[in-house]
Amino acid sequence: MFTAYVIYSEKFDKIYVGFTSNIEARLHSHNSSKNTGWTKSFQPWVLFYKETYPTKKEAMAREKSLKSYRGREFIRSLIPKKE
């Protein structure tokens, strides 16, 4: 199984979209002090949204869709507005 996922940094109001075959390990790596990627600057991350697929191809297609303008609009619509 593969997962298309969205993680959210409430502190910085940032979203990150990806796909993986191991969501628990991937979330851990995003929050790791050893992380050297873009997500390191916006820690901590929480798993905000996920969809599972039987194939890597399907998960990659959904990741691409979520990264589109409409996909990001959809994700932002799920985030509660701050008062």
Q: What is the pTM of this model?
A: 0.92
In the block, tokens 């873009």 appear at 38
14-20 β-sheet, strand order: 14-20, 2-9, 46-53
User: Between 3.20.170, 3.40.1440, 2.60.40, 3.30.70, what CATH number should domain 2-78 receive?
Assistant: 3.40.1440
What pLDDT does residue 80 have?
Answer: 85
Q: Which of 45, 13, 10, 11 is nearest to 26 (CA)?
A: 45
Question: Tens of pLDDT along 33-53?
Answer: 999 999 999 999 999 999 999
What pLDDT does residue 83 have?
Answer: 67
Hey, where are the domains in the chain? 2-78
